[in-house]
Structure 1
Amino acid sequence: MFLYTACLAGAVPATAYAQGGDNDAGASEIVVTAQRREQRLQDVPLSVSVVSGEAMQRAGLTSLEDVGARLPAVRIAQAVLADLINVRGVGSGNNPGFEQSVATFVDGVYRARSRSTRAALFDIDRLEVLKGPQTTFFGANAIAGAFNISTRKPGRSFSYNGLTSYDFVTDEHIVEGGLTVPLSETLSLRAAARVMGGKGYVETPTGRGPNNDTLQGRLSIRWEPVSALTSDLRIEGSRSRTKNAFPFEIIGCPPPTPFPLLATSTCARALAANGGSVDDKLNFHSSSPYSFANYDFGEAAWTNALDLAGATLTSTTSYFEHKYTGRLQYAPLTFISPVQPGLDGFPAQSIEKYHQFSQELRFQSAGGGTLEYMFGGYYSRSKIDYASYFGFFFSPFGAIPAAAALGTNASTPLTGELANLQRDDTLSAFASATIRPIENLRINLGARYSSIRKRANRVSGTGTSVNADPATYQPFGTDLQAVFFRILGSEGGQYARPRRRDSDFMPSIGLQYDLTPSLMAYASYTKGFKAGGYAYTSRTNDFEPETVNAYEVGIKGTLLDRRLTFAADLFRMDYNNLQESTVVFINGSPVSLVQNAAQSRSQGAEFNATLRLSRALSLSTDLTYLDSAYKNYPAGACTLIGVATGCQSQNLSGKRRAFSPKYSGNVALNVTLPVGDNEVRLSPSVYFTTAYYQSATADPLLAQDGYAKVDLRLAFGPSDKSWEVALIGKNLTDKTTAGFRQGITGTNGTILAMPEPPRTVGIQFTLTH
């Protein structure tokens, strides 16, 4: 759909075409805040993809996961312990113990937890996807990129917008709207709300899933008591309840050929119980038992900007909290549990509570002139309270002689507990300057110093429970816990260093040169840093900081009387001590660990362009070539075949990283045809990717094959889009893919896969004034 893919390609949305004159097919300027001040996109010396909120809304994209699927070199997936966010083949993996390498900001407020990104795309003005380290302007954790999201602000005139849609395949329904009301010449407010729900697209024994119901609301107030002061207050919250939230499908039972071992554990018992055959194809039919994911969050942000005659002092104060509770089944063939009738084979239930307070002060000069500058400071304090309970009911561990001697038996429901309470304090000072020594040349300088202090308190134990319900958990005595720790490959006790402090200085330097008034070239170097921390795992696992040296050269411009807009760049990012999250198997049990890969490299080329042939016809594309691989990682985690054959570690040096397809991109067309006083708008698009691994093990069993998917939007309404009715088709070629794959405990080559949506078709009505 051109409405969004044109934006995804760094181009202007169809609604923003310049009006009148010989330049009737040209584009108006796109304004972004990628460097914490308003600038033309074509003047920003870095790779940025911009998506307008209107474009996402009309295209039916409600999450970062939806948008990321259609962007090259951006991959977002919902995993077991955390959501996976990757840009240019770099991201943080499936462990809730660290912040994401791709940071998310809403109105300049950092959202540290990956789960919190799920509700970020609501009533927004635009999304800017910034690629590469963004440490000067967005902080130490933005070491691979940043999502810079701007919400819709109250204006000085009355306005409203509304949308309702229904998807005929998933039964997803959305009703949302916003209202801006000026209360006086100096005070205005905006209220927005969304109600969304759907039955899902995977059949499970307890109904379809993911079956979601979400309610979200926001109140924004803008006060301008004098011309020099603007005060913005935003308060919002969301409540989401998802049934059958993790409809995993089993693949490879019996193990695929050629494979050196027989079916074992969960797979072997399932085959025996079903006459030698189970459904092990990715086909939107899951044997997973009931699961759920409940998510609630609240956020308040207050930004005050004071104009001081040629400079601006900005203060942003925020508070964010969320609670996530989820239950899933790692081995979804539940009827085969040998411990007690009715127990799931390997259930897990997690609870995460998070609180964050932050304060930023920023002083910056006006734009233009020989010198532009900015400097400021940032402080945040956060608390993470995370606990998980794992039911090891797929095998009668209680019958093992060492445990039975201490009072257990084959019917004992062995349950593991893992909890961690972590407090973080972050202090940063930052500055930037743009110097124009001669006409057309700009020298860009930046730096940030960050100091991060973390304190952690860990609990790890074993006991019994009723189907891994935390409310029924009863810990074993010390001696019995020690026996099960050895069996499960777990560790009790605290981290070796329960307190740590990491700090670093992160400089950046760049050059820009205006080759012509409509053509700009740039080159830059940036150092990035992310603090070490504590992994949430059954081992006393901590990890060290990672750093990156990033280089980028590019060119941006407009040609053909602004009918052609394009950008191209080459980049290279060299990572040291890269924090890599992966799953290893110890005594047959999965253990999520965070390791430091010695060296990793991500390099490639990006190109995007939009050609506006006329007001009625436009074409856009966004393409990426990516080479993201480990340079030095001699002790990486094993593949599933390796685990089954006794592998302890593998040398991953030279192998591709997870979520890093070699080629990916999109191509889109926008056609507008007059019909009386109205228009028909046809917007087909194709987005594609080559194959990529979905685990930090370069495992071919945990890889997604390449694919191309087709979307189409057919809309009817007046040219001003005051109202519009549209048919929206997504994945019309009905490609079956999975966003996440993981091995099943104790099985040889049998995996779990989380399917992505099949072909869907829906109807939408929008109203704008």
Structure 2
Amino acid sequence: MIKTKYSKIHLMVALSLTGSLGFIGQNALAQEDAAAPPEEVIALEKIIVTSQRRVENLQDVPLSVQAMSAEGIERASIDKIEDLQLYIPNLSMTETGISTQTYIRGIGSGNNQGFEQSVVQYIDGISYARPQLTRAPFFDMQRAEVLRGPQSILFGKNAVAGALNLTTAEVSEYSEGKLMAQLGEHGIREYQAMFNFPIVEDKMFGRLSLRSYKEDGYVKNTYTDSDEPQRDDFSVRGKLHYLATDNLTINIKAEHSTFDTKGRQIEIIQDEGNPGNAFATTLGAGFGLTEAITETDLDYRRQADGGDYSKNDSTSYVLDVNYDWNQYEVRFTAAFVEYEYDDLCDCDYIAAPLFTVPMQEDYEQTSYELRIASDTAQTISWQAGLFYQEAELNFNDKILIPTGNVGSPSLSVIPTAVAALTGNVALGQSMSGTSAARDFEQDSEHFSVFSQATWNISDALKISAGLRWSTEDKTGYREINIYDTDTGNITTSPYAPIVYNNLFAIENQQLTGHELNGSRSESSLDPSINIQYYFDPDTMIYLSRTEGSKSGGFDARANTVDSFEFEDEGAISYELGLKTTFWDNRAQINIAAFQIDYDNLQVSQFDGTLGFVVSNADAEISGVEIDGRVALMEDLTLAYALSYLDHEYTDYVNGNCYYRQGSDTTNPDFQARYNPETGLCNYNGLSGQYTPKFNANLNLDYYYPLGDYNLHLNGNLAYVSEQDIHQNLDPNFKIGGYSKMDLRVSFEAEEWSISLLGRNITDKEMITYAGNSPLSGTFGADTIYAFVAPPATWTLAFNYRY
């Protein structure tokens, strides 16, 4: 049967377009009234989520939550978390040279391999909290949910800023399949396949999903005459669904992904000199390399010689056992997650052989959870459980300086510069062919008990209370040694350790001692209470108070021995919300007002030379989030969102300064924040990185019948106001507000569709992250590098389902 205006296929497409807060729009549905002659009714369909570890209607969840369906993710060509931020206000994510950062409501975790994320990613209920795992690709998804504010009770101790609750597609109890091919600008080639099939009739079913993605890159490296970053992803996932008995279901998942890149989307956007430094006026001129930085325009062109790459492998196995025991659901989950990556960062970010930073990381995590949940229809419904996780992390990197003789321009930039600065050729030559190598290890063991109960006092009034007690033990180790790269042994030079320490601020074992061991044992008790009141079945208000916590740990990126341990975070959140459906189920509006006080927020900032230092800060955050949907016509739906955010540091007097902050007469307020005795800066009263005052989103979704086919149009407009993107809050890199528009045009039949997708169709130039180029300040230049978002990109996709 070919799809008609009111066919089941039309209904399925409409269901796929769920959109809250600017998601792919929900198509208005025509439904029949069973008590009267068939008459089509325009109405919005329910959005189903698992934000409270139960299957619920989004409009009944007393949280600020956004949900996006599998079809919505597919139609927007969202293949990683970073793409979600243009559909979700108050969510920010960006890649940096050495890490990945995710923020909700202005709270996240910066550059440090010692961190777990304050915004925790959960995939099928399993924590993927490590920063590198947020780069993993999306494919064959069922739903993506974004939960804002502390989520410690049901999702885990470290979800102090929020949670990304991602669900992969479930195994169907029938045969189906999907094939997809997408080709586009910048050499984009994507292929996906899914096969769902019975194995044992009425008992066992399987699902196999595969994805391959390649891209040539959108930034031209004029030094190497290549396009960057080149992506090469491949993922495979197998799922098994076994109906052991009428009451017992067993699900098994195995997944492996590789996601590799070559090159980076980085440009130098500023190269200015410091007149007070006798060495240089600009970074390139100081090193005598006039071709190292040829221009500083934002034009998708860069110059780099180091051969950046990132090679990532991740594997996971999940066993999920569900048992219906009388009126209770008993669920046991066991999971193993591991990943490893091998990175090379040309972290001077210019076309000169200053230094490179090779990095390797290995991580293994094993977790178990037992959860029991009662029937929600009871007067008092509840769920409770036990959780255990152990993890091992090994990380190493090195600052690698090439071999070369002083005076040789090809391989001796740093040695020659050191000789010029110090007036000592021996000191300069001691740097040739050396490295400062870091070894970092962190082991953790976590146990928690959690529960949540809801008292259904009446049809109109509900009170929920939750509690999670957690204990965690951690051990940490960090050592920095100076090596000769030719021999692979610790250096015998008496000078190299001195130069690394005095000029590059790397305290090392050979000079000052740098072999650190630590252990932490901490417990936390996180409570929550939530009151819901229904004025009628379609209008609900809620008031909640929630506490959250995130464990402390050990600083992997600092180069000084006094920066090793950081304290645990704490948060107290208050939220008042309204969720209502009106106009005969044709319109919805959701409002959430919040205030969150953070204690000991873990902030990582660049130390001005070659390291990142974690310090603790207090902050207050408040704001309002509004979203909704309107079925304007039978085939036209509008989804909208608006958020306001006020972020302020209330106790952050020891932040790392941006280069030349103490002499920045153009920004006297920031200059006055510099403390010459400590070399640190007071950021009290300022807002943090990625804290725009306003986010807005508008989405229109329209179906136009063309006989047996449909023309499907979807447009998405996202607006982000002024925000700080510099890692040390340099006010010169507070970017202005911008808008970004995406458009999709699809010609759809019952089993196939052809789609044209345009991303950033107005070709808006956007910077996602900025920082001082390492060593530029050491050698007298104020050089800034930035990550740039893609320009306008068009792709053509073909989908086939059976």
TM over 0.5: same fold?
yes
The 3-state SS of whatever aligns with 2:133 is: helix
Structure 1's 230 and 266: CA in aligned 2 closer, same or farther, altered over 3 A?
A: farther
The 3-state SS of whatever aligns with 1:96 is: coil
The 3-state SS of whatever aligns with 1:221 is: strand
**Residue 278 of structure 1, aligned match among 280, 294, 309:** 294
The 3-state SS of whatever aligns with 1:141 is: coil
Shift of 1:418: 1.0
Is 1:26 paired with 2:26? Answer: no
1:746 corresponding residue in structure 2:
776
* AA matched with 2:272: P
Shift of 1:479: 5.0
Alpha-carbon distance in 1 for matches of 2:723, 2:14: 26
The 3-state SS of whatever aligns with 1:94 is: coil
**Residue 428 of structure 1, aligned match among 419, 423, 448:** 448
Shift of 1:400: 8.6
Is 1:756 paired with 2:789? Answer: yes
Structure 1's 520 and 680: CA in aligned 2 closer, same or farther, altered over 3 A?
A: same
The 3-state SS of whatever aligns with 2:271 is: coil
2:560 corresponding residue in structure 1:
539
Is 1:688 paired with 2:708? Answer: no
**Residue 679 of structure 1, aligned match among 682, 690, 710:** 710
Is 1:368 paired with 2:387? Answer: no
Q: Residues 25 and 638 of structure 2 are in contact (CA less than 8 Å); yes or no, is this contact kept in structure 1?
A: no
Q: Deviations over 1:388-441 (max 9, x none)?
A: 111256522774999979887266133211111111111111010000123311
Shift of 1:696: 4.7
Q: Residues 28 and 631 of structure 2 are in contact (CA less than 8 Å); yes or no, is this contact kept in structure 1?
A: no
Q: Residues 580 and 696 of structure 1 are in contact (CA less than 8 Å); yes or no, is this contact kept in structure 2?
A: no
2:407 corresponding residue in structure 1:
none
**Residue 615 of structure 1, aligned match among 634, 648, 657:** 634
Q: Residues 26 and 45 of structure 2 are in contact (CA less than 8 Å); yes or no, is this contact kept in structure 1?
A: no
* AA matched with 1:754: F
Is 1:359 paired with 2:388? Answer: no
Alpha-carbon distance in 2 for matches of 1:539, 1:109: 35
2:149 corresponding residue in structure 1:
132
Alpha-carbon distance in 2 for matches of 1:123, 1:319: 21
Residue ranges of structure 1 left out of the alignment (5+ in a row): 336-343, 467-471
Shift of 1:73: 1.0
Paired residues for 1:140-539 under 5 Å: 140-168=157-185, 170-183=186-199, 184-204=201-221, 205-206=223-224, 207-244=226-263, 246-254=264-272, 264=280, 267-269=283-285, 273-274=289-290, 278-289=294-305, 290-335=307-352, 344-392=353-401, 394-396=413-415, 399=419, 409=429, 412-465=432-485, 473-477=488-492, 480=495, 482-483=497-498, 484-492=500-508, 493=513, 498-537=518-557, 538-539=559-560
Alpha-carbon distance in 1 for matches of 2:24, 2:95: 30
Across the two proteins, how many residue pairs are aligned to each other? 746
Q: Residues 564 and 609 of structure 1 are in contact (CA less than 8 Å); yes or no, is this contact kept in structure 2?
A: yes
* AA matched with 1:409: Q
* AA matched with 2:603: E
Structure 1 stretches of at least 4 aligned residues deviating more than 6 Å after TM superposition? 1-5, 259-263, 400-408, 643-646
The 3-state SS of whatever aligns with 2:157 is: coil
Shift of 1:331: 1.9
Alpha-carbon distance in 2 for matches of 1:554, 1:192: 39
Alpha-carbon distance in 1 for matches of 2:16, 2:206: 28
Alpha-carbon distance in 2 for matches of 1:401, 1:29: 68
The 3-state SS of whatever aligns with 2:429 is: coil
The 3-state SS of whatever aligns with 1:442 is: strand
Q: Residues 303 and 316 of structure 1 are in contact (CA less than 8 Å); yes or no, is this contact kept in structure 2?
A: yes
Paired residues for 1:661-676 under 5 Å: 661-676=692-707
Q: Residues 255 and 263 of structure 1 are in contact (CA less than 8 Å); yes or no, is this contact kept in structure 2?
A: no
2:798 corresponding residue in structure 1:
765
Q: Residues 166 and 172 of structure 1 are in contact (CA less than 8 Å); yes or no, is this contact kept in structure 2?
A: yes
The 3-state SS of whatever aligns with 1:332 is: coil
Residue ranges of structure 2 left out of the alignment (5+ in a row): 1-12, 34-38, 403-412, 665-673
The 3-state SS of whatever aligns with 2:385 is: strand
* AA matched with 2:800: L
Alpha-carbon distance in 2 for matches of 1:699, 1:319: 41
Alpha-carbon distance in 2 for matches of 1:94, 1:455: 20
1:734 corresponding residue in structure 2:
763
Shift of 1:142: 0.3
With normalisation by structure 1, the TM-score equals 0.92
1:636 corresponding residue in structure 2:
655
Shift of 1:566: 1.8
Alpha-carbon distance in 2 for matches of 1:613, 1:699: 45
Shift of 1:8: 4.8
Q: Residues 576 and 600 of structure 1 are in contact (CA less than 8 Å); yes or no, is this contact kept in structure 2?
A: yes
Range with greater deviation from structure 2 (652-661 or 259-268): 259-268
The 3-state SS of whatever aligns with 2:172 is: coil
2:21 corresponding residue in structure 1:
9
Structure 1's 620 and 416: CA in aligned 2 closer, same or farther, altered over 3 A?
A: same
Q: Residues 346 and 392 of structure 1 are in contact (CA less than 8 Å); yes or no, is this contact kept in structure 2?
A: yes
Alpha-carbon distance in 1 for matches of 2:277, 2:422: 29
Q: Residues 19 and 629 of structure 2 are in contact (CA less than 8 Å); yes or no, is this contact kept in structure 1?
A: no
Alpha-carbon distance in 2 for matches of 1:312, 1:276: 63
Q: Residues 552 and 568 of structure 2 are in contact (CA less than 8 Å); yes or no, is this contact kept in structure 1?
A: yes
1:338 corresponding residue in structure 2:
none
Structure 1's 368 and 323: CA in aligned 2 closer, same or farther, altered over 3 A?
A: same
Identity within the alignment, %: 27
Alpha-carbon distance in 2 for matches of 1:248, 1:442: 51
The 3-state SS of whatever aligns with 1:7 is: coil
Q: Deviations over 1:263-322 (max 9, x none)?
A: 937624279543898211111001022211100010000100110010011001000110
2:681 corresponding residue in structure 1:
650
Paired residues for 1:109-128 under 5 Å: 109-128=126-145
Alpha-carbon distance in 2 for matches of 1:608, 1:55: 17
Q: Deviations over 1:464-514 (max 9, x none)?
A: 337xxxxx7442149556423233222345676611112110000010011
Structure 1's 307 and 508: CA in aligned 2 closer, same or farther, altered over 3 A?
A: same
Alpha-carbon distance in 1 for matches of 2:48, 2:488: 54
Q: Residues 336 and 367 of structure 2 are in contact (CA less than 8 Å); yes or no, is this contact kept in structure 1?
A: yes
Q: Residues 30 and 634 of structure 2 are in contact (CA less than 8 Å); yes or no, is this contact kept in structure 1?
A: no
2:6 corresponding residue in structure 1:
none
Shift of 1:456: 1.4
Q: Deviations over 1:312-341 (max 9, x none)?
A: 110010001101111121223233xxxxxx
The 3-state SS of whatever aligns with 1:253 is: strand
Q: Deviations over 1:341-384 (max 9, x none)?
A: xxx22311110111000001111101122111111111111111
The 3-state SS of whatever aligns with 2:302 is: coil
Alpha-carbon distance in 2 for matches of 1:463, 1:765: 54
Alpha-carbon distance in 1 for matches of 2:369, 2:112: 28
* AA matched with 1:72: P
Q: Residues 160 and 177 of structure 1 are in contact (CA less than 8 Å); yes or no, is this contact kept in structure 2?
A: yes
Alpha-carbon distance in 2 for matches of 1:503, 1:629: 28
Alpha-carbon distance in 1 for matches of 2:766, 2:724: 13
Q: What is the RMSD computed on CA atoms of the aligned residues?
A: 2.6
* AA matched with 1:235: A
